[in-house]
Amino acid sequence: DSGVTQTPKHLITATGQRVTLRCSPRSGDLSVYWYQQSLDQGLQFLIQYYNGEERAKGNILERFSAQQFPDLHSELNLSSLELGDSALYFCASSVGGGTSYEQYFGPGTRLTVT
Amino acid sequence: TQLLEQSPQFLSIQEGENLTVYCNSSSVFSSLQWYRQEPGEGPVLLVTVVTGGEVKKLKRLTFQFGDARKDSSLHITAAQPGDTGLYLCAGGGTGNQFYFGTGTSLTVIP
């Protein structure tokens, strides 16, 4: 158990819908990362927040957005869903905001878009 | 984008054999991490290396960061079925983000 929690574990929805994925970082960690993992793309970095502010942006679509709240939990919002958005979505947390800090991953949310 | 290529992509070996997984890039990374991931679960951090030429040993696993900080290797001695999983390298690069490798799927046959 990494100490990072993600909900829900599984999510099945239809194309065009909107969903919200939630992540609670390890106690004491200020940074949250979101990743998408699919069979053909591997593990892709989406976005990072540090202490409530956006720190880095990766291959995140405009239909996707995220935020980190004052209690440090984070939410990833996916809208106008397409079949290709079906994937595992992981959240990771670390103490600091730089890449010298170790990341700890949550168990993931499996999103299926039908 | 800073790409990390892992080789081999798939590896199936007998219990007790040794193996090496490679992680290569043309880019320089500030740090390099190795993870193991099991199906349906999140990656689990194995090690972080930050200094060029650094070697770290964890029981039967040996990790090395290249002198130029562009590549890394993971060597497993006397592999066991419990080592089965997807091995991922990740480099700390520009833009304050991690770039993950393409992955090596290891199967250790009892």
CB pairs under 8 A between A and B: 66
Would you give the distance in Å from CA B23 to the centre of its chain?
6
Round to whole Å and give the CA distance between A94 and A88.
20
Find, among A92, A88, A69, A82, the residue nearest to A5 by Cα: A92
Confidence band (pLDDT; 50, 70, 90) for A70?
very high
Is pLDDT above 90 for A73?
Answer: yes
pLDDT, tens only, B58-107:
999 999 999 999 999 999 999 999 999 999 999 987 777 888 998 999 99
Q: Do A43 and B88 touch (CB under 8 A)?
A: yes
Is pLDDT above 90 for B43?
Answer: yes
Chain A residues touching B28 at Cβ < 8 A? none
Q: Are the C-beta atoms of A74 and A66 separated by less than 8 Å?
A: yes
More confident residue, A99 or B10: B10
Q: Do B100 and A45 touch (CB under 8 A)?
A: yes
Q: What percent of chain B has pLDDT over 90?
A: 78
Find, among A76, A67, A101, the residue nearest to A8 by Cα: A76
Average pLDDT, chain A: 94
Q: Please, which residues bridge with residue B31 across strands?
A: B92
Could you tell me if B14 lies within 8 Å of chain A, comparing CB atoms? no
Q: What pLDDT was estimated at residue B63?
A: 97
Q: Do A4 and B42 touch (CB under 8 A)?
A: yes
Confidence band (pLDDT; 50, 70, 90) for B50?
confident
More confident residue, B33 or B2: B33
The H or E element that residue B52 is part of is none
Nearest CA in chain B to A94: B45
Q: What pLDDT was estimated at residue B71?
A: 93
3-state DSSP assignment of residue A61:
coil
Pairing mode of beta strands B44-49, B85-92: unpaired
Q: What pLDDT was estimated at residue A106?
A: 97
Q: What pLDDT was estimated at residue B39?
A: 86
Q: Which residues contact B54 (CB under 8 A, 6 or more apart)?
A: B64, B65
Q: Do A103 and B98 touch (CB under 8 A)?
A: yes
Confidence band (pLDDT; 50, 70, 90) for A72?
very high
Q: Which residues contact B102 (CB under 8 A, 6 or more apart)?
A: A42, B4, B5, B6, B9
The count of residues in chain B is 110
What the block records as the tokens of A14 is: 């239809």
Q: What pLDDT was estimated at residue A74?
A: 98
Q: What percent of chain A has pLDDT over 70?
A: 100
Q: What pLDDT was estimated at residue B1?
A: 64
Is pLDDT above 90 for A101?
Answer: no
Round to whole Å and give the CA distance between B88 and A43.
9
Beta-carbon neighbour count of residue B63 at 10 Å? Answer: 23
Looking at the complex, report in whole angstroms how far the Cα of residue B14 sits from the nearest Cα belonging to chain A: 26
Q: Please, which residues bridge with residue A86 across strands?
A: none
pLDDT, tens only, A75-94:
999 999 999 999 999 999 99
Compute CA distances A69 → A7, A33, A35, A66, whole Å. 16, 14, 18, 10
Find, among B92, B90, B32, the residue nearest to A99 by Cα: B92
**Taking CA A75 as the corner, what is the angle to CA A69 and CA A76, rounded to the nearest 5 degrees?**
140
Closest Cβ–Cβ partner in A2, A42, A99 for B103: A42
Closest Cβ–Cβ partner in B43, B93, B99 for A105: B43
pLDDT, tens only, A1-21:
889 999 999 999 999 999 999
The count of residues in chain A is 114
